[in-house]
Amino acid sequence: MGESLKPLNIGIVGAGKISGAYLSTLERLTSVRLTAVTDLDQSRAEAVAAQVGDGVTVAPTVADLVARDDVDAVLNLTIPAAHAEVALTALAAGKHVYGEKPLAANRKEADAVLTAAREAGLRVGCAPDTVLGTGTQTARKAVDDGLIGTPVAATAFMTTKGHEAWHPDPEFYYQPGGGPLLDMGPYYLSALVHLLGPVVKVTGASSRPRKQRTIGSGPRAGHTFPVEVDTHITGVLEHADGALSTLVMSFDVRAARLPRIEVHGTEASLSVPDPNGFDGTVEINRGDGWETLPVSAGYRDAGRGAGLADLAEALSAGRAHRASAELAAHVLDIMLTLMDAADQGRALPVTSTCERPAPVTEPGD
Protein backbone atom coordinates (compact mmCIF):
# COMPACT_ATOMS: atom_id res chain seq x y z
CA MET A 1 0.00 0.00 0.00
CA GLY A 2 1.05 3.60 -0.46
CA GLU A 3 2.71 5.75 2.18
CA SER A 4 1.37 8.82 3.97
CA LEU A 5 3.64 11.81 4.46
CA LYS A 6 2.98 11.62 8.19
CA PRO A 7 1.73 8.49 10.00
CA LEU A 8 -1.75 8.67 11.51
CA ASN A 9 -1.53 8.01 15.26
CA ILE A 10 -3.93 5.24 16.27
CA GLY A 11 -5.50 4.39 19.63
CA ILE A 12 -7.11 0.96 19.93
CA VAL A 13 -10.27 0.50 21.98
CA GLY A 14 -10.77 -3.22 22.61
CA ALA A 15 -7.84 -5.62 22.84
CA GLY A 16 -9.68 -8.90 22.29
CA LYS A 17 -8.91 -11.69 19.84
CA ILE A 18 -9.52 -9.68 16.65
CA SER A 19 -6.88 -7.13 17.69
CA GLY A 20 -4.17 -9.67 16.90
CA ALA A 21 -5.16 -9.74 13.23
CA TYR A 22 -4.98 -5.95 13.06
CA LEU A 23 -1.65 -5.75 14.88
CA SER A 24 0.01 -8.12 12.43
CA THR A 25 -1.01 -5.77 9.62
CA LEU A 26 -0.35 -2.46 11.34
CA GLU A 27 3.24 -3.40 12.09
CA ARG A 28 3.87 -3.61 8.33
CA LEU A 29 2.34 -0.23 7.49
CA THR A 30 4.02 3.17 7.44
CA SER A 31 0.80 5.18 7.09
CA VAL A 32 -0.33 4.43 10.65
CA ARG A 33 1.34 4.16 14.05
CA LEU A 34 -0.12 2.66 17.22
CA THR A 35 0.29 4.99 20.20
CA ALA A 36 -2.31 3.93 22.79
CA VAL A 37 -4.62 1.09 23.75
CA THR A 38 -7.41 0.51 26.25
CA ASP A 39 -9.65 -2.39 27.24
CA LEU A 40 -12.08 -3.18 30.04
CA ASP A 41 -9.59 -5.90 30.94
CA GLN A 42 -6.41 -3.91 31.53
CA SER A 43 -4.23 -7.01 31.30
CA ARG A 44 -5.26 -7.45 27.66
CA ALA A 45 -4.36 -3.84 26.90
CA GLU A 46 -1.02 -4.31 28.63
CA ALA A 47 -0.36 -7.42 26.54
CA VAL A 48 -0.96 -5.48 23.31
CA ALA A 49 1.31 -2.65 24.46
CA ALA A 50 4.04 -5.13 25.36
CA GLN A 51 3.70 -6.86 21.99
CA VAL A 52 4.07 -3.61 20.04
CA GLY A 53 6.85 -2.22 22.21
CA ASP A 54 8.01 1.25 23.21
CA GLY A 55 5.79 4.23 22.56
CA VAL A 56 2.42 2.56 23.24
CA THR A 57 0.52 3.84 26.27
CA VAL A 58 -2.11 1.85 28.16
CA ALA A 59 -5.00 4.25 28.77
CA PRO A 60 -7.25 3.52 31.78
CA THR A 61 -10.51 4.30 29.97
CA VAL A 62 -11.93 5.19 26.56
CA ALA A 63 -12.30 8.80 27.75
CA ASP A 64 -8.62 8.91 28.66
CA LEU A 65 -7.59 7.46 25.31
CA VAL A 66 -9.62 9.84 23.14
CA ALA A 67 -8.35 12.83 25.16
CA ARG A 68 -4.72 12.07 24.27
CA ASP A 69 -2.89 14.44 21.93
CA ASP A 70 -0.98 11.53 20.40
CA VAL A 71 -4.19 9.84 19.16
CA ASP A 72 -5.51 11.05 15.80
CA ALA A 73 -7.90 8.17 15.13
CA VAL A 74 -9.58 5.42 17.13
CA LEU A 75 -9.56 1.80 15.99
CA ASN A 76 -12.80 0.51 17.50
CA LEU A 77 -12.57 -3.23 18.17
CA THR A 78 -15.23 -3.48 20.88
CA ILE A 79 -18.26 -5.78 20.82
CA PRO A 80 -20.94 -4.82 18.24
CA ALA A 81 -23.31 -3.43 20.86
CA ALA A 82 -20.69 -0.83 21.83
CA HIS A 83 -19.60 0.21 18.32
CA ALA A 84 -21.78 3.31 18.05
CA GLU A 85 -21.16 4.50 21.62
CA VAL A 86 -17.38 4.32 21.23
CA ALA A 87 -17.50 5.95 17.80
CA LEU A 88 -19.59 8.85 19.09
CA THR A 89 -17.24 9.33 22.05
CA ALA A 90 -14.24 9.46 19.74
CA LEU A 91 -15.92 11.85 17.30
CA ALA A 92 -16.93 14.17 20.15
CA ALA A 93 -13.24 14.32 21.11
CA GLY A 94 -12.24 15.27 17.57
CA LYS A 95 -10.86 11.88 16.52
CA HIS A 96 -11.39 9.98 13.29
CA VAL A 97 -12.77 6.45 13.70
CA TYR A 98 -12.32 3.10 12.01
CA GLY A 99 -14.26 0.17 13.46
CA GLU A 100 -15.07 -3.47 13.09
CA LYS A 101 -18.38 -4.40 11.50
CA PRO A 102 -21.22 -3.68 11.92
CA LEU A 103 -21.14 0.11 12.03
CA ALA A 104 -23.91 0.10 14.63
CA ALA A 105 -26.64 -2.11 16.05
CA ASN A 106 -29.50 -0.32 14.27
CA ARG A 107 -30.32 2.44 11.78
CA LYS A 108 -30.79 5.11 14.47
CA GLU A 109 -27.31 4.55 15.87
CA ALA A 110 -25.77 4.41 12.38
CA ASP A 111 -27.44 7.71 11.45
CA ALA A 112 -26.14 9.29 14.66
CA VAL A 113 -22.56 8.28 13.81
CA LEU A 114 -22.85 9.59 10.25
CA THR A 115 -24.34 12.88 11.45
CA ALA A 116 -21.71 13.38 14.16
CA ALA A 117 -18.87 12.73 11.68
CA ARG A 118 -20.33 15.07 9.09
CA GLU A 119 -20.86 17.89 11.59
CA ALA A 120 -17.35 17.48 13.01
CA GLY A 121 -15.68 17.18 9.62
CA LEU A 122 -14.14 13.83 10.61
CA ARG A 123 -13.71 10.48 8.87
CA VAL A 124 -15.41 7.24 9.89
CA GLY A 125 -14.45 3.95 8.30
CA CYS A 126 -15.78 0.47 8.91
CA ALA A 127 -14.89 -3.13 8.15
CA PRO A 128 -14.94 -5.28 6.18
CA ASP A 129 -11.86 -4.21 4.26
CA THR A 130 -11.40 -7.68 2.75
CA VAL A 131 -13.13 -6.32 -0.37
CA LEU A 132 -10.12 -4.06 -0.98
CA GLY A 133 -7.87 -7.06 -1.59
CA THR A 134 -6.93 -8.60 -4.92
CA GLY A 135 -9.83 -11.09 -4.96
CA THR A 136 -12.86 -8.79 -5.03
CA GLN A 137 -10.98 -5.96 -6.76
CA THR A 138 -9.74 -8.15 -9.64
CA ALA A 139 -13.34 -9.33 -10.11
CA ARG A 140 -14.57 -5.75 -10.00
CA LYS A 141 -12.07 -4.69 -12.66
CA ALA A 142 -13.36 -7.49 -14.89
CA VAL A 143 -16.92 -6.16 -14.46
CA ASP A 144 -15.86 -2.53 -14.96
CA ASP A 145 -13.84 -3.43 -18.07
CA GLY A 146 -16.92 -5.06 -19.62
CA LEU A 147 -15.49 -8.58 -19.71
CA ILE A 148 -18.88 -10.09 -18.78
CA GLY A 149 -20.97 -7.63 -20.79
CA THR A 150 -23.87 -6.01 -18.97
CA PRO A 151 -24.29 -7.47 -15.45
CA VAL A 152 -27.59 -9.32 -15.16
CA ALA A 153 -27.48 -11.25 -11.90
CA ALA A 154 -25.30 -12.42 -9.05
CA THR A 155 -25.45 -15.16 -6.43
CA ALA A 156 -23.92 -15.07 -2.96
CA PHE A 157 -23.90 -18.06 -0.62
CA MET A 158 -22.61 -18.44 2.95
CA THR A 159 -23.67 -21.82 4.32
CA THR A 160 -22.50 -23.68 7.39
CA LYS A 161 -24.06 -26.04 9.91
CA GLY A 162 -23.55 -23.51 12.69
CA HIS A 163 -20.78 -21.94 14.73
CA GLU A 164 -21.58 -24.04 17.79
CA ALA A 165 -19.68 -26.87 16.09
CA TRP A 166 -16.36 -25.08 16.72
CA HIS A 167 -16.93 -22.02 18.93
CA PRO A 168 -16.69 -22.68 22.70
CA ASP A 169 -19.12 -19.85 23.55
CA PRO A 170 -21.46 -19.52 20.54
CA GLU A 171 -24.61 -18.23 22.23
CA PHE A 172 -24.24 -14.64 20.97
CA TYR A 173 -24.51 -15.85 17.35
CA TYR A 174 -28.06 -16.99 18.15
CA GLN A 175 -29.28 -13.99 20.12
CA PRO A 176 -30.83 -10.72 18.84
CA GLY A 177 -28.16 -8.95 16.82
CA GLY A 178 -26.75 -12.30 15.72
CA GLY A 179 -27.66 -14.83 13.06
CA PRO A 180 -25.93 -15.63 9.77
CA LEU A 181 -27.00 -12.47 7.96
CA LEU A 182 -25.73 -9.94 10.49
CA ASP A 183 -22.65 -12.05 11.21
CA MET A 184 -21.42 -12.74 7.67
CA GLY A 185 -23.65 -10.59 5.48
CA PRO A 186 -21.38 -7.51 5.65
CA TYR A 187 -18.64 -9.37 3.75
CA TYR A 188 -20.92 -10.55 0.96
CA LEU A 189 -23.03 -7.42 0.68
CA SER A 190 -20.01 -5.11 0.69
CA ALA A 191 -18.58 -7.20 -2.15
CA LEU A 192 -21.86 -7.03 -4.09
CA VAL A 193 -22.00 -3.24 -3.73
CA HIS A 194 -18.41 -2.98 -4.97
CA LEU A 195 -19.25 -5.24 -7.92
CA LEU A 196 -22.76 -4.05 -8.84
CA GLY A 197 -23.52 -0.88 -6.90
CA PRO A 198 -26.09 0.00 -4.20
CA VAL A 199 -29.33 -1.88 -3.58
CA VAL A 200 -32.77 -0.28 -3.96
CA LYS A 201 -35.22 -3.10 -3.11
CA VAL A 202 -35.22 -6.47 -1.35
CA THR A 203 -37.52 -9.41 -0.78
CA GLY A 204 -36.82 -12.43 1.35
CA ALA A 205 -37.81 -15.31 3.58
CA SER A 206 -36.28 -16.82 6.69
CA SER A 207 -36.68 -19.79 9.02
CA ARG A 208 -35.56 -21.20 12.36
CA PRO A 209 -35.56 -25.00 11.95
CA ARG A 210 -34.05 -25.72 15.37
CA LYS A 211 -35.16 -24.12 18.61
CA GLN A 212 -32.05 -25.23 20.49
CA ARG A 213 -28.38 -25.80 19.70
CA THR A 214 -25.69 -27.84 21.43
CA ILE A 215 -22.07 -26.72 21.89
CA GLY A 216 -19.79 -29.19 20.14
CA SER A 217 -16.33 -28.36 21.49
CA GLY A 218 -14.44 -26.85 24.39
CA PRO A 219 -15.06 -27.03 28.14
CA ARG A 220 -18.82 -26.50 27.68
CA ALA A 221 -19.31 -29.21 25.06
CA GLY A 222 -22.76 -30.77 25.37
CA HIS A 223 -24.36 -27.63 26.81
CA THR A 224 -27.67 -26.77 25.13
CA PHE A 225 -28.89 -23.19 24.59
CA PRO A 226 -31.95 -21.57 22.95
CA VAL A 227 -32.00 -20.12 19.41
CA GLU A 228 -33.57 -16.66 19.46
CA VAL A 229 -33.10 -15.57 15.81
CA ASP A 230 -33.77 -17.01 12.36
CA THR A 231 -30.83 -19.07 11.13
CA HIS A 232 -31.60 -19.54 7.42
CA ILE A 233 -32.20 -16.37 5.39
CA THR A 234 -32.62 -16.05 1.64
CA GLY A 235 -33.28 -12.90 -0.34
CA VAL A 236 -33.36 -11.24 -3.73
CA LEU A 237 -31.68 -7.84 -3.99
CA GLU A 238 -32.42 -5.36 -6.78
CA HIS A 239 -29.45 -3.13 -7.53
CA ALA A 240 -29.90 0.43 -8.74
CA ASP A 241 -28.61 -0.47 -12.20
CA GLY A 242 -31.10 -3.34 -12.53
CA ALA A 243 -29.00 -6.42 -11.72
CA LEU A 244 -30.59 -8.96 -9.36
CA SER A 245 -28.59 -10.72 -6.63
CA THR A 246 -29.73 -13.89 -4.88
CA LEU A 247 -28.43 -14.19 -1.33
CA VAL A 248 -28.44 -17.22 1.00
CA MET A 249 -27.02 -16.95 4.55
CA SER A 250 -27.44 -20.06 6.67
CA PHE A 251 -26.42 -21.82 9.87
CA ASP A 252 -28.51 -24.84 8.78
CA VAL A 253 -26.58 -26.45 5.90
CA ARG A 254 -24.64 -29.60 6.69
CA ALA A 255 -22.67 -29.60 3.44
CA ALA A 256 -22.76 -27.76 0.14
CA ARG A 257 -20.91 -27.23 -3.15
CA LEU A 258 -22.24 -23.73 -3.67
CA PRO A 259 -19.96 -20.98 -4.98
CA ARG A 260 -19.18 -18.02 -2.72
CA ILE A 261 -20.12 -15.34 -5.26
CA GLU A 262 -20.83 -15.49 -8.98
CA VAL A 263 -21.68 -12.57 -11.28
CA HIS A 264 -23.46 -13.29 -14.56
CA GLY A 265 -23.50 -10.91 -17.51
CA THR A 266 -24.75 -10.87 -21.08
CA GLU A 267 -21.38 -12.07 -22.38
CA ALA A 268 -19.80 -14.17 -19.60
CA SER A 269 -19.95 -15.37 -16.00
CA LEU A 270 -17.48 -14.55 -13.25
CA SER A 271 -16.49 -16.66 -10.24
CA VAL A 272 -15.49 -14.45 -7.29
CA PRO A 273 -13.50 -15.75 -4.28
CA ASP A 274 -14.64 -15.76 -0.65
CA PRO A 275 -15.17 -12.11 0.42
CA ASN A 276 -14.11 -13.06 3.95
CA GLY A 277 -10.56 -13.19 2.55
CA PHE A 278 -8.43 -10.61 0.79
CA ASP A 279 -7.22 -12.68 -2.16
CA GLY A 280 -8.27 -15.80 -4.06
CA THR A 281 -8.70 -16.93 -7.64
CA VAL A 282 -11.04 -15.08 -10.00
CA GLU A 283 -12.31 -17.09 -12.97
CA ILE A 284 -14.30 -16.15 -16.07
CA ASN A 285 -16.38 -18.36 -18.36
CA ARG A 286 -17.26 -16.96 -21.78
CA GLY A 287 -19.01 -20.18 -22.82
CA ASP A 288 -16.01 -22.43 -23.42
CA GLY A 289 -14.86 -23.32 -19.92
CA TRP A 290 -13.45 -21.51 -16.91
CA GLU A 291 -10.33 -19.39 -17.30
CA THR A 292 -8.30 -17.88 -14.45
CA LEU A 293 -7.87 -14.13 -14.63
CA PRO A 294 -4.51 -12.67 -13.58
CA VAL A 295 -4.44 -10.43 -10.53
CA SER A 296 -5.11 -6.97 -11.90
CA ALA A 297 -6.31 -4.81 -9.01
CA GLY A 298 -6.52 -4.56 -5.24
CA TYR A 299 -4.12 -4.17 -2.34
CA ARG A 300 -1.65 -7.05 -2.49
CA ASP A 301 -0.79 -9.13 0.60
CA ALA A 302 -3.40 -7.17 2.55
CA GLY A 303 -4.71 -8.03 5.99
CA ARG A 304 -7.23 -6.62 8.46
CA GLY A 305 -6.37 -2.98 8.83
CA ALA A 306 -6.01 -2.31 5.11
CA GLY A 307 -9.14 -0.17 5.33
CA LEU A 308 -7.63 1.86 8.16
CA ALA A 309 -4.46 2.41 6.11
CA ASP A 310 -6.61 3.41 3.14
CA LEU A 311 -8.36 5.96 5.37
CA ALA A 312 -5.01 7.36 6.54
CA GLU A 313 -3.76 7.66 2.97
CA ALA A 314 -7.07 9.20 1.86
CA LEU A 315 -6.70 11.91 4.50
CA SER A 316 -3.20 12.69 3.23
CA ALA A 317 -4.31 12.70 -0.42
CA GLY A 318 -7.59 14.53 0.14
CA ARG A 319 -9.71 11.77 -1.42
CA ALA A 320 -12.59 9.64 -0.17
CA HIS A 321 -11.67 6.52 1.78
CA ARG A 322 -13.10 3.25 0.48
CA ALA A 323 -14.22 1.31 3.58
CA SER A 324 -16.58 4.14 4.47
CA ALA A 325 -19.25 4.55 7.09
CA GLU A 326 -21.71 5.38 4.32
CA LEU A 327 -21.11 1.98 2.69
CA ALA A 328 -21.35 0.24 6.08
CA ALA A 329 -24.60 2.06 6.90
CA HIS A 330 -26.09 1.06 3.54
CA VAL A 331 -25.07 -2.57 4.09
CA LEU A 332 -26.63 -2.50 7.56
CA ASP A 333 -29.83 -1.04 6.09
CA ILE A 334 -29.93 -3.75 3.40
CA MET A 335 -29.67 -6.46 6.06
CA LEU A 336 -32.30 -4.95 8.36
CA THR A 337 -34.66 -4.30 5.45
CA LEU A 338 -34.21 -7.88 4.25
CA MET A 339 -35.15 -9.20 7.69
CA ASP A 340 -38.18 -6.88 7.73
CA ALA A 341 -39.17 -8.12 4.27
CA ALA A 342 -38.90 -11.72 5.43
CA ASP A 343 -41.05 -11.01 8.48
CA GLN A 344 -43.70 -9.15 6.43
CA GLY A 345 -43.63 -11.46 3.42
CA ARG A 346 -43.30 -8.69 0.85
CA ALA A 347 -40.77 -6.65 -1.09
CA LEU A 348 -39.50 -3.52 0.63
CA PRO A 349 -37.52 -0.51 -0.61
CA VAL A 350 -34.03 0.13 0.76
CA THR A 351 -34.26 3.81 1.61
CA SER A 352 -30.53 4.42 2.09
CA THR A 353 -27.89 4.51 -0.60
CA CYS A 354 -24.17 5.14 -0.99
CA GLU A 355 -21.61 5.92 -3.63
CA ARG A 356 -19.97 2.84 -5.11
CA PRO A 357 -16.46 3.06 -3.61
CA ALA A 358 -13.59 3.88 -5.95
CA PRO A 359 -11.76 0.80 -7.23
CA VAL A 360 -8.31 -0.10 -5.97
CA THR A 361 -6.11 -0.10 -9.05
CA GLU A 362 -2.90 -2.11 -8.97
CA PRO A 363 -0.89 -1.79 -6.80
CA GLY A 364 -3.36 0.36 -4.87
CA ASP A 365 -3.80 4.12 -4.94
pTM: 0.94
Q: Where are the beta strands (DSSP E) in 145-242?
A: 151-159, 199-207, 212-214, 224-226, 232-239
Q: How far apart are CA 344 and CA 354, in angstroms?
A: 25
CATH of the domain at 179: 3.30.360.10
Beta bridge partners of 207: 232
- Please indicate, yes or no, if residue 46 is contained in any of the structural domains: yes
Output the tens digit of pLDDT for each of the chain's 365 residues: 544 468 999 999 999 989 999 999 998 999 999 999 999 999 999 999 999 988 899 999 999 999 999 999 999 999 888 999 999 999 999 999 999 999 999 999 999 999 999 999 999 999 999 999 999 999 999 999 999 999 999 999 999 999 999 999 999 899 998 999 999 999 999 999 999 999 999 999 999 999 999 999 999 999 999 999 999 999 999 999 999 999 999 999 999 999 999 999 999 999 999 999 999 999 999 999 999 999 999 999 999 999 999 999 999 999 999 999 999 999 999 999 999 999 999 999 999 999 999 999 865 45
Q: Is 53 inside any structural domain?
A: yes
Within this chain, do residues 61 and 186 fall inside the same structural domain, yes or no?
no
Question: Are 151 and 286 within one domain?
Answer: yes
CA dihedral 235, 236, 238, 239 (to 10 degrees): 70
> Are 278 and 237 in the same domain?
yes
- Could you tell me the CATH number of the domain that includes residue 24? 3.40.50.720
Give the range of the structural domain holding residue 58, as residue numbers without chain letter: 8-126
